[in-house]
Amino acid sequence: MTEHDRTSAATLHDVAREAGVSLATASRAINGSTRNVKESNRTLVLDAARRLGYAANASAQAVARGTTTTVALLVGDVTDPYFSSIASGVVSAATERALIVAMSQTERDSQREVDLVRAMRGQRARAIILAASRRANDPHADELQRELEAYEANGGRAVFISTPSEDFRAVPIDNSGGARKLAAALLERGYRSPAVLAGPSLVGTSDEPSAKAADRLGGPAGLRTSDDRLSGFAECFAAAGHAIPSRRIISTAFTRDGGYEGMQQLIASGLDDLDMVFAVNDVMAVGAMSALRDAGIEPGRDLAVAGFDDIPTLRDVTPRLTTVQLPLTEVGHRALSLAIDDDAADAEVVEAEVVIRESTPQR
């Protein structure tokens, strides 16, 4: 007895034998089902389990119960603070509920995203949370849609972050409203001639930016999040009589390097009367500031900069960046709740708050 030197893990069978009870009793004692088991037997089983270092085989439980304890999380790139903040929220909310989160990176490739969804369908994940960015004109959108529909038809739950969806649950974020509020605040501070560093986009006021985007990215692709932020911002300025000329809307990658390169482009084409730059997310803004600095232009003092998201990194960046705050960890929590809890409040839009900091001084 208490033979520890087996080469494969102890099974419930072993525990039952060691405790001198039946398989059924052991099962009931260990997971506390509806059925009671006599106290003496329960401790017998529990002790045996401890002695054998028993850990129930989750896969076997999954097939027997017909349900797993896994939640899938798809992000674009964990290294990006936007995603890692969301991921952190998802993971901790999952841990509270004794769920495992299986995380994957789409690496911003929508084909890969489809593959990953299929893989998670195979895992019979209880839910799939898609934090990776949605494109307006995605060549694989249909395939993804079909995959997710099949997934939900079998009892899974898909949850999108940021982009509202007609067909699936979502934690919608008020991107355009946030951008509008930011624009209003900047107008009030005296800014009149902004440029925008947008992600790959289709929304540009002329065709130029989207054509460029299509060119750079091997196909037409507009990031919904970026589009919404761009249009909210641009509309507000336009409404105030300061329409943003299309050459001031740069389409670039939705990343730090994208921001850096976009800013370089802007500098190369001449700054003229430009008085500020709005990058549609913080990592881009931060990249843009570096590009400015590398060109001998002091961000904030010589040219104002603003971002979107309020990622934690910003606390340590100079000048402090004006941005639109999003409760990212909270978004992760809500996504998980929406994915798992049956009574989860539906789809309340996440409000975004403008935070004015040093990078956009009063003019």
Q: Write out the residues near a second copy by the rule CB under 8 A.
A: 4-9, 53, 55-60, 62-63, 66, 68, 70, 77-79, 81, 84-85, 87-88, 91-92, 95, 98, 100-105, 107, 116, 118-119, 121-124, 146, 150, 153-155, 256, 286-287, 289-290, 293, 312-313, 315-318
Residue linked to tokens 């997310």? 281
Asked if 28 is part of the footprint of DNA (rule: CB under 7 A), the reply reads yes
Q: What is the C-alpha separation between 127 and 338, in angstroms, rounded? A: 9
Among 11, 69, 290, 337, binds DNA (CB under 7 A): 11
Among 65, 97, 146, 363, binds DNA (CB under 7 A): 65
Angle, CA of 345, 350 and 352, to the nearest 5°:
160
Residue linked to tokens 């799939």? 128
Instruction: Say how many residues touch DNA, by CB under 7 A.
Output: 29
Binding mask 40-59 toward DNA (x if CB under 7 A, else -) reads: -x------------x-xx--
Q: What is the C-alpha separation between 97 and 90, in angstroms, rounded? A: 11
Element (H, E) at 236: helix 224-239
66 versus 241: smaller Cβ distance to DNA: 66
Query: Are 315 and 288 a contacting pair, CB within 8 Å?
Result: no
Asked if 363 is part of the footprint of DNA (rule: CB under 7 A), the reply reads no
Asked if 68 is part of the footprint of DNA (rule: CB under 7 A), the reply reads no
Q: What is the C-alpha separation between 279 and 85, in angstroms, rounded? A: 19
Asked if 22 is part of the footprint of DNA (rule: CB under 7 A), the reply reads yes
9 versus 239: smaller Cβ distance to DNA: 9
Q: Which two tokens stand for residue 100?
A: 């495992």
Asked if 23 is part of the footprint of DNA (rule: CB under 7 A), the reply reads yes
Q: Which two tokens stand for residue 5?
A: 């030197």
Q: What is the C-alpha separation between 42 and 47, in angstroms, rounded? A: 8
Q: To the nearest whole angstrom, how small is the minimum distance from the Cβ of residue 236 to DNA? A: 52
38 versus 363: smaller Cβ distance to DNA: 38
276-279, strands of its sheet edge to edge? 249-251, 194-198, 276-279, 304-306
CB under 5 to 8 A by kind: which of a second copy, DNA, none does 37 bind? DNA
**SS3 of the chain: helix, strand, coil, percent, to 5:** 45, 15, 40
Written as one letter, the residue type at 111 is Q
CB under 5 to 8 A by kind: which of DNA, a second copy, none does 198 bind? none
| Residue numbers at the binding site for DNA (CB under 7 A) | 8-9, 11-13, 21-25, 27-28, 30-31, 33, 35-38, 41, 54, 56-57, 60-61, 63-66
